[in-house]
Structure 1
Amino acid sequence: MHLAVEVLVCFLQMIWLWLVAIVKAVVPSSLQPHKDVTGWVVLITGAGSGLGRLMSLRFAALGCRLVLWDVNEAGNQETEELVQAATPGAKVKAYTLDLSDREQIYAAADKVKQEVGDVDILINNAGIVTGTTFLNTPDSMNIKTMDVNCNAHFWTVKSFLPSMLKRNRGHLVSIASAAGLFGIAGLADYCASKYAAVGFDESIRAEIVKQGRTGVKTTVVCPYYINTGMFEGAQTRFPAVLKFLDPPFVVDKIVEAVLTDQVMLCVPKSVYFFYILRGILPISVNQVLGKLVGVSETMDNFVGRNKAK
């Protein structure tokens, strides 16, 4: 009898949550309740350029205190200066470190705790891409891709999640990729690292829920190619369906997702559609569809940010 009641309660909860999810999907995020993050400490990795820089500017405008992490000291310093110019009086502190080095991450985390305090929003944004076929990618780059795109998430979360759980307040944000949902030729190590980031986010969220810490949220972001220069030369066959994304647009979506506690953000929305198809269609059918869309050819003319200079 007890099990029957438990099943009934579970069924009713599923219906209710499904209806809530439908409403959230239909109602624009701008009309949904937003949490106030004024005064919150936001740590952004890869803050020296691209999305990291734009997110820094946005969160500073919301009244957040910023901690900027990047291996590029000059770029990170420039982001700090841009934030100060755009939001006079903003509190910003920049740190230079290599996110592929666990010990540097732990050392920088200790400094942040001493010099700034508890981190409220952790945004694991730093990422690298080799853009070569697996057999043509040096082992060292395979390792570094995993270290920066995935393993760094382990060490940053280990450093800052405990205080979030203790205070029952915080937000973990993983900037993953649509390549963390679909395997793509020419991106084997990148896809592996982003799949890992998606899986890590889901597992950490499950652990947080199990502990009953309702004030600690997670958001995983899975965008298509973004015009930051990182994927210079990559191409898309049907831009009306899957087009290169404008960085400010993506950052707007990320910030809204954080403020509304959205668990998973795919950009553009067509990524959700292909993700659903991936789950219900046979692998052979997905391969045919992928060939039509040109997924395996997107990296054929890849140049990348460094080689493009």
Structure 2
Amino acid sequence: MKFEEPTGESLPPRPSNLSKVFEVARDTVIFLVLSCYYILESLFLTLVPNAIRPMKSLKGDVVVVTGGAGGVGRQLALQLARLGAKVVVWDISSEGLKKTCADVTDEGYEIASYVVDLADREAVYATAERVKNEVGKVDMLINNAGTVFGQTLLELSDAAIETTYKVNILSHYWTVKAFLPDMISSGKGHIVTVGSVAGLLGTYRCTDYSGTKFATVGFHEALFTELRAHGHSSIHATLVCPYYINTGMFDGVTPRLMPMLEPQYVAATMIESVRKNEVNCIMPGSVRYLLPLKCLLPAKMCWDLMHRVMKGPQSMMEFKGKRKVAGG
């Protein structure tokens, strides 16, 4: 091993253990003080009605919605257009896109649509360039598209698993990489990642779907840390995790304790959360109180709660598992 010859330049003194302890103590005190402020702020904003709470305007913003051919995607397009946004919908279904566009234009609003297979990376990049050239710089990206096959692991084909991952999570990488640089350049943007409660709690007959939705949670959290660490605080990121949605995607599922959510409600709640610049949006809100139990309770107790009380696996027994690209 070769050692470098000393250059004569003095090295900066290493911090002593005492100074390290002081720094940790100082940062902890600052954290605790800020935590009190954050908690009080959160409580205040929770109690303040939306009617008198400052809400971000979306008027004139270019918003790309993937999976816009039906379900939540169609409702997002309608409700965003009513708020004055320039809506751009993507989907693999040309017929579904035509219906969405008709619904929006019938109300007197403009909308742009692009047929694109989100499982095709190059098609995603090419379509993104078309949007930039034909519509303009994208201010908000809502990664809403998703697909599910509804089979157990051993029933799933390899192709089905790969398709689920390409549509449900890999496409998020391509769309964000395509639009985020312009958001950073302009100092304005919003990335909305649509996950699922199935991405917070593993779901029977959804090893592919749950796996990808768990990945969306990690993607959102990691992207959020990157944006904040590099000082891009004006670029917002929101994770949306809804319960089962009544779009036909989970046709045949019979939840025991809570009814399926309606697409109109999901879209409205999602947009409301985005206009508040919230980081997380779980629907219904009561689900968030169940999540800590997964880590706090014994595993056997969690399984009995899921199987005996909530009857999660039983509710999925009649799941028809239609292949569909749609929100939720």
TM-score range, shorter chain: over 0.9
1:275 paired to 2:297? no
1:218 paired to 2:234? no
Bigger mean CA offset, 207-216 vs 42-51: 207-216
Within-5 A mapping of 1:114-125: 114-125=133-144
Deviations 1:175-225 (A, max 9, x none): 111000000111110000000011101110110111111211111111111
Q: For 1:136, what is the secondary structure of its paired residue?
A: coil
Alpha carbons 2:91, 2:114 under 8 Å: kept: yes
> Rg bigger for which structure?
2
- TM-score, with length taken from structure 1: 0.94
The separation in 2 between residues aligned to 1:192 and 1:31, in whole angstroms, is: 39
Q: For 2:320, what is the secondary structure of its paired residue?
A: coil
Unaligned runs of 5+ in 1: none
Shift of 1:276: 2.5
State the superposition RMSD in angstroms.
Answer: 1.5
The separation in 2 between residues aligned to 1:30 and 1:151, in whole angstroms, is: 38
Deviations 1:233-252 (A, max 9, x none): 011122xxx22111111111
Aligned residue number for residue 264 of structure 1: 280
Change (3 A) 1:31 1:229: farther
Aligned residue number for residue 23 of structure 1: 44
The separation in 2 between residues aligned to 1:29 and 1:157, in whole angstroms, is: 29
Shift of 1:84: 1.0
Aligned residue number for residue 304 of structure 2: 288
Deviations 1:139-188 (A, max 9, x none): 10001001101111010000001111121211111111100000011111
- Which residue of 43, 47, 50 corresponds with 2:71? 50
The separation in 1 between residues aligned to 2:49 and 2:313, in whole angstroms, is: 33
- Which residue of 267, 273, 282 corresponds with 1:251? 267
Shift of 1:3: 3.7
Within-5 A mapping of 1:1-309: 1-86=22-107, 88=108, 90-238=109-257, 242-291=258-307, 292-305=309-322
Shift of 1:30: 4.5
Shift of 1:278: 1.9
Deviations 1:34-91 (A, max 9, x none): 01111000000010111000100000011111111000011112211211111x2x33
Alpha carbons 2:149, 2:322 under 8 Å: kept: no
The separation in 2 between residues aligned to 1:276 and 1:250, in whole angstroms, is: 23
Bigger mean CA offset, 271-280 vs 172-181: 271-280
Aligned residue number for residue 13 of structure 2: none
Change (3 A) 1:213 1:177: same
Q: For 2:292, what is the secondary structure of its paired residue?
A: helix
The separation in 2 between residues aligned to 1:182 and 1:31, in whole angstroms, is: 35
- Of the two structures, which has the highest relative contact order with CA contacts closer than 8 Å and spacing of 6 or more? 2
Shift of 1:306: 5.6
Unaligned runs of 5+ in 2: 1-21
In the alignment of these two chains, the number of paired residues is 302
The separation in 1 between residues aligned to 2:299 and 2:232, in whole angstroms, is: 38
